[in-house]
Amino acid sequence: MIKEQFTKFEPKVDAFKDKVIFITGATDGIGRSLAIEAAKLGGKVILSGRNKERLESIYDEITALSNSIPTIAQLDFETADSEQYSSLADSIDLNFKSIDCLIHCAGILGDRSSIEQYNPGVWQKVLHVNLTAPFVLTQALLPYLKQSKQPSIIFTSSGVGQIGKAFWGAYSVSKFGTEALSQILCEELGHTAARVNCVNPGAVKTKMRLAAYPAENRDRLRKPEEILSPYLYLISDESNGITGKCLHAQ
């Protein structure tokens, strides 16, 4: 039934007017496409990524395509320390006071190898970037999300976040953790207006998918802009009351 709601969901022009939307992984793939669409719908997007040039490139693209002026929040999830998270929170406090939506799209694949062969250093990095950093960022931004009337937190999961499959190693474990983090936070915020959900985007034509399946025919894959409806629905006020779910884009 929720699938019906988000597949039929057609946001009105300016649907996200006045909404402050923080997007990680905004420099590529799904996050980049979502940042452009959210800005076109009037959202004030905060673009989070690790690379200054790539952030400036998406900033320029958004200002050329919409009336929205984005904000850049440069943060490398691999190396960010508590001081950087706290200075990010200070700048949100100063410039926005509240955040309506936090969307976690950043992620890395790591190795596609067996547990027996898996490199422990890569394992640690994948769990850090995909799971620990989103937790720390969410914790840092929660005070500002709580200032919104209808806050929405969206994590990006995966098919291997619900079913363990051979050779998906740390990536799969990080996505199981993401689903758990989302469900725990949903319960803990149950007494508030906040909704917390996951999106499983399915197979999408991005550099991560190419790295995971280098030999597959890419023409059959959906492009990032074709799988955005569950994200757009969860940003919008039409999804009020929807919490603790994992929405599948395909």
Point out the residues that are catalytic: 171
Question: Hey, which residues does 72 pair with through a beta bridge?
Answer: 47
Integer Cα distance of 156 and 199 in angstroms:
5
> How many C-beta atoms surround the C-beta of residue 65 within 10 A?
12
Could you tell me which residues come within 8 angstroms of residue 230 by beta carbon, excluding any fewer than 6 positions away? 6, 199, 201, 247, 248, 249
- Regarding 127 and contact with ligand NDP (CB under 6 A), the answer is no
Could you tell me which residues come within 8 angstroms of residue 210 by beta carbon, excluding any fewer than 6 positions away? 218
- Interaction with ligand NDP in 179-198: which residues (CB under 6 A)? none
Q: Which is nearer to ligand NDP, 30 or 39 (CB)?
A: 30
Q: Can you tell me whether residue 199 is helix, strand or coil?
A: strand
Stretch that binds ligand NDP, among 47-55, 83-91, 110-118, 183-191 (CB under 6 A): 47-55
Which residue in the set 16, 19, 21, 25 belongs to the binding site for ligand NDP (CB under 6 A)?
Answer: 25
Which residue in the set 76, 90, 188, 216 belongs to the binding site for ligand NDP (CB under 6 A)?
Answer: 76
- Regarding 107 and contact with ligand NDP (CB under 6 A), the answer is yes
Which residue in the set 68, 138, 148, 156 belongs to the binding site for ligand NDP (CB under 6 A)?
Answer: 156
Which residue in the set 50, 195, 245, 248 belongs to the binding site for ligand NDP (CB under 6 A)?
Answer: 50
- Regarding 106 and contact with ligand NDP (CB under 6 A), the answer is yes
Burial 207-224 (b: 16+ CB within 10 A, else e): ebbeebeeeeeeeebeeb
For residues 174, 178, 179, 181, the Cα torsion angle rounded to the nearest 10 degrees is: 130
Sign of CA dihedral 12, 17, 19, 22: positive
- Regarding 31 and contact with ligand NDP (CB under 6 A), the answer is yes
- Interaction with ligand NDP in 207-236: which residues (CB under 6 A)? 207-209
Q: Which is nearer to ligand NDP, 208 or 246 (CB)?
A: 208
- Regarding 72 and contact with ligand NDP (CB under 6 A), the answer is no
* # of chain residues touching ligand NDP (CB under 6 A): 27
Say how far residue 180 (Cα) sits from the centre of its chain: 15
- Regarding 78 and contact with ligand NDP (CB under 6 A), the answer is yes
Binding footprint of ligand NDP on the chain (CB under 6 A): 25, 27-31, 49-51, 54, 76-78, 105-108, 129, 156, 158, 201, 203-204, 206-209
